[in-house]
């Protein structure tokens, strides 16, 4: 059945004001239109709604039922309007994104706190994933954006910006190399290392840099968990290689130190914020990505608008 709610509105006004003519003044229309629309509504519904041949508007039972429906619809509409107001005022919404394991840490938490303070009605979905999974999530629109190291190249995935996050040698403050301003790849490889598995981008970068120097990486501890690596450094059992922001709190309280590694490959490691191509992001999502950009590194660079170059691995 095809029911036009606009016609019910006419019926409602006619009933509320008592006559079609009064309704016509309220609605600023000719009475004839109202009469016709109500007649049409009756044809659509298949039963009479008002007692015709009367001076005033008297509803039939069916008419009362229709108006009850109309009131239902009206309150539903009010709810919708409230929702839409909230949305356009950005009071509610949802942001979903994915990050690589390395980003769990104080910097991220502070960024999330900032965002949630700034947009109290917003909810967040955060997936901690590996790079392959991140690309899948992006392509299927299951996340708005992803944050990771040199993500896999994919024609449908582009980088919105990148930030240089040089990998550093992370070691205990009491480590013999801790007061050095920089160390070489060879010196690094001579130390007991705690690194991620070879499936991870960070590890792949390290292996690549080491291979360039003719060194072999043979870590004493391999883990896919960054906190495990950090703990091993804190316990003076190993040196690990991570970007500074992953261990920012340990650096600031003096427990660990980060030493520069003499290697162009280690310096030119970039974090990319990636999205699906042509993905339209709401202002709130944009705000979150901007906060992340600032937090990651004040020197973060915006990717070229075509977004192709930085996505190359």
Partner DNA sequence: CAAATTTGTTGCGTTTATTGCAATCTAAAA
Partner DNA sequence: TTTTAGATTGCAATAAACGCAACAAATTTG
Contact status: 286 vs a copy of itself (CB under 8 A): no
User: Of DNA, a copy of itself, none, which one does residue 21 interact with (CB within 5 to 8 Å by kind)?
Assistant: DNA
Q: How far is the CB of 52 from DNA (least distance, A)?
A: 4
Q: CA nearest 310: which of 199, 151, 145, 99?
A: 151
Contact status: 4 vs DNA (CB under 7 A): yes
Q: How far is the CB of 101 from a copy of itself (least distance, A)?
A: 29
Contact status: 52 vs DNA (CB under 7 A): yes
Contact residue for DNA among 8, 11, 57, 311 (CB under 7 A): 57
Q: Which of residues 181-220 bind a copy of itself (CB under 8 A)?
A: none
User: Of a copy of itself, DNA, none, which one does residue 172 interact with (CB within 5 to 8 Å by kind)?
Assistant: none
Contact residue for DNA among 16, 21, 71, 294 (CB under 7 A): 21
Which SS3 state, helix, strand or coil, does residue 105 take? coil
221 with 194: CB under 8 angstroms?
Answer: yes
Q: How far is the CB of 122 from DNA (least distance, A)?
A: 24
Max intra-chain CA distance, the chain: 103
Query: For 22-48, b where at least 16 C-beta lie within 10 A, e where not — what string?
Result: bbbeebeeebeebbebbeebbeebeee
Contact status: 113 vs a copy of itself (CB under 8 A): no
Determine the Cα–Cα distance for residues 270 and 42; give it in Å rounded to an integer: 68
Task: Please say which residue, 9 or 91, places its beta carbon nearer to DNA.
Answer: 9
243 with 168: CB under 8 angstroms?
Answer: yes
Task: Please say which residue, 155 or 176, places its beta carbon nearer to DNA.
Answer: 155
Contact residue for a copy of itself among 20, 23, 34, 45 (CB under 8 A): 45
Q: Which stretch binds a copy of itself (CB under 8 A): 79-87, 127-135, 241-249, 255-263?
A: 79-87
Residues 6+ apart with CB under 8 A from 312: 153
User: Of DNA, a copy of itself, none, which one does residue 81 interact with (CB within 5 to 8 Å by kind)?
Assistant: a copy of itself
Task: Please say which residue, 57 or 273, places its beta carbon nearer to DNA.
Answer: 57
Give strand pairing partners of 261: 183
Q: How far is the CB of 88 from a copy of itself (least distance, A)?
A: 5
Contact status: 37 vs DNA (CB under 7 A): yes
Give strand pairing partners of 193: 239
Letters for 148-187 (x = contact with DNA by CB under 7 A, - = none) are: -------xx-------------------------------
Which SS3 state, helix, strand or coil, does residue 95 take? strand
Q: Which stretch binds DNA (CB under 7 A): 15-23, 182-190, 204-212, 235-243?
A: 15-23
| Residue 75, CA distances (Å) to 66, 80, 82 in order | 15, 9, 11
| The Cα angle at residue 184 between residues 212 and 311, in degrees rounded to 5 | 50
CB-side neighbour CA atoms (13 Å) of 250? 23
Q: Which of residues 260-289 bind DNA (CB under 7 A)?
A: 276-278
Q: What is the DSSP annotation of 248-268?
A: HHHHHTTSEEEEEEE-HHHHT
Q: CA nearest 184: which of 292, 263, 277?
A: 263
Determine the Cα–Cα distance for residues 231 and 221; give it in Å rounded to an integer: 11
Binding site for a copy of itself (CB under 8 A): 1, 3-6, 45-47, 51-54, 58, 60-62, 65-66, 68-69, 72-73, 76-77, 79-81, 83-84, 87-88, 92-94, 141, 278-280, 282
């Amino acid at each position: 059945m095809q029911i036009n709610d606009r016609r019910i509105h006419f019926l409602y006004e006619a009933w509320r004001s008592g006559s079609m003519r009064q309704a016509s003044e309220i609605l600023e229309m000719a009475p004839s239109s109202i009469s016709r629309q109500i007649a049409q509504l009756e044809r659509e519904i298949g039963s009479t709604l008002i007692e015709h041949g009367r001076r005033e508007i008297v509803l039939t039972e069916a008419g009362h039922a229709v108006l009850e429906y109309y009131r239902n619809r009206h309150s539903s509409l009010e709810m919708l309007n409230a929702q839409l107001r909230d949305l356009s005022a950005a009071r509610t919404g949802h942001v979903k994104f994915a990050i690589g394991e390395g980003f769990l840490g104080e910097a991220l938490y502070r960024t999330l706190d900032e965002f949630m303070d700034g947009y109290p009605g917003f909810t967040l979905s955060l997936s901690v994933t590996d790079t392959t999974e991140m690309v899948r999530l992006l392509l299927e629109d299951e996340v708005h954006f992803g944050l990771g190291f040199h993500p896999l190249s994919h024609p449908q995935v582009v980088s919105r910006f990148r930030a240089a996050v040089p990998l550093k040698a992370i070691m205990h403050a009491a480590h013999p190399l801790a007061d050095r301003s920089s160390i070489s790849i060879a010196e690094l490889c001579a130390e007991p290392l705690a690194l991620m598995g070879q499936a991870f981008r960070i590890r792949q970068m390290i292996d690549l840099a080491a291979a360039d120097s003719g060194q072999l990486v043979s870590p004493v501890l391999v883990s896919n968990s960054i906190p495990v690596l950090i703990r091993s450094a804190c316990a003076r059992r190993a040196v690990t290689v991570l970007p500074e922001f992953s261990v920012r709190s340990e650096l600031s309280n003096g427990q660990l130190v980060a030493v520069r590694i003499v290697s162009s490959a280690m310096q030119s490691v970039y974090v990319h914020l990636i999205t699906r191509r042509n993905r339209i992001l709401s202002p709130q999502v944009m705000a979150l990505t901007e906060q992340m950009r600032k937090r990651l590194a004040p020197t973060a660079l915006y990717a070229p608008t075509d977004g192709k170059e930085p996505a190359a691995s």
